Amino acid sequence: MVLLTNCEGGVGMEAAREVLDRGGSALDAVEAGIRVVEADTSVDSVGRGGAPDLLGVVSCDAAVMDGATGRVGAVGNLRYFLHAVSVARQVMERLPHVFLVSEGAERFASDIGAERAEMLTEEARGRYERWMLERPPASARANLSGAELVQLAWESSRDKTAGGTVVFLCVDGNGDIAAGTSTSGWAQCYPGRLGDSPIVGAGLYTDNRYGACGCTHVGEMTIRACTARSVVQYMKAGVSVREACLEAVRDLRSLKGGYLGPVIIHAIDRQGSSCVVSTGTVVKGLDYFIWRGAGEVQSETADLAGPEIQPEEIV
């Protein structure tokens, strides 16, 4: 059993591990871990307490994928509901569709009785208002023109990249692999912006035969390069998990024009070997957490009672 999450996911690691310890599935573990992150307001880029868009609205994106079957569930621009990852899971379980967005996602969440919440906390509101007041014009924000919104979207791209997604990758005791993501998205983004987190093949991908991948930061790039699926496909071609990540980095660096910025790739193979690489320096130092269960090879420094904390590799 192997469980990997990025720095945002650390608060959910115990919940995910508990699922595995009692024989639960990789998919259940991924959902359990992400739910903790979504409810923790100290994580300012996922779920409740996450960053709003340029109009001050918090909307969340999430997805889950089952490597045993290739089944997927995803939601985008979901407002007013605490656990986007669980709504995404129910899209997978209950509907013939794989992806719901905006009003449709909210209708479905309401129909299944998903937990409602006020997603914009006072702390997040304060950060948003301070950011807006620092940029002219500092008045009449409710009546911003299209041109002003475009200008401010570019301002937000220079101020902070689209980071903060939580990623969970898991191999359970049966050898089944699952991946999950959740985010409130790019802080102060243009309303309606959708990043890579809920997009299967860009923000996450998994296949029991090879492994799994999840991406964070500038989703505009991983959407263009289909990064998550590319990593898994490179593993399918027979390279190591690290070489698969490095090949995906080469793909990202071949992109020209548009908005370019850092991407972090998280990956595991079917044997539980892992790799986390960043295409460049990001806003803060980003460690990741990995836990290997009974029967897995431990590193010499591993704490058998808890996860290892490892630094990303900057390439």
Please classify residue 14 by burial: count the beta carbons closer than 10 Å to its beta carbon, then call 0-12 exposed, 13-18 middle and 19+ buried.
middle
Catalytic residue among 5, 165, 181, 216: 165
Record the tokens describing residue 283, joined without a space. 């806003």
* Residue 247 contacts residue 238 (beta carbons within 8 Å): no
- The pairing of beta strand 72-78 with beta strand 99-101: parallel
Q: Where are the beta strands (DSSP E) in 57-144?
A: 60-66, 72-78, 99-101
- Residue 165 appears among annotated catalytic residues: yes
Question: Could you give phi then psi for residue 88, rounded to 5 degrees?
Answer: -60, -40
Residue 299: alpha-carbon gap to chain centroid? 26
Give the contacts of 112 (CB within 8 A, at least 6 positions apart). 87, 90, 94
Q: Is 197:182 a contact under the CB 8 Å cutoff?
A: yes
For residue 275, the 8-state DSSP code is: E
Q: Please tell me the distance from the alpha carbon of residue 228 to that of residue 74, in angstroms, as a whole number.
A: 15
Q: What residues act catalytically?
A: 165
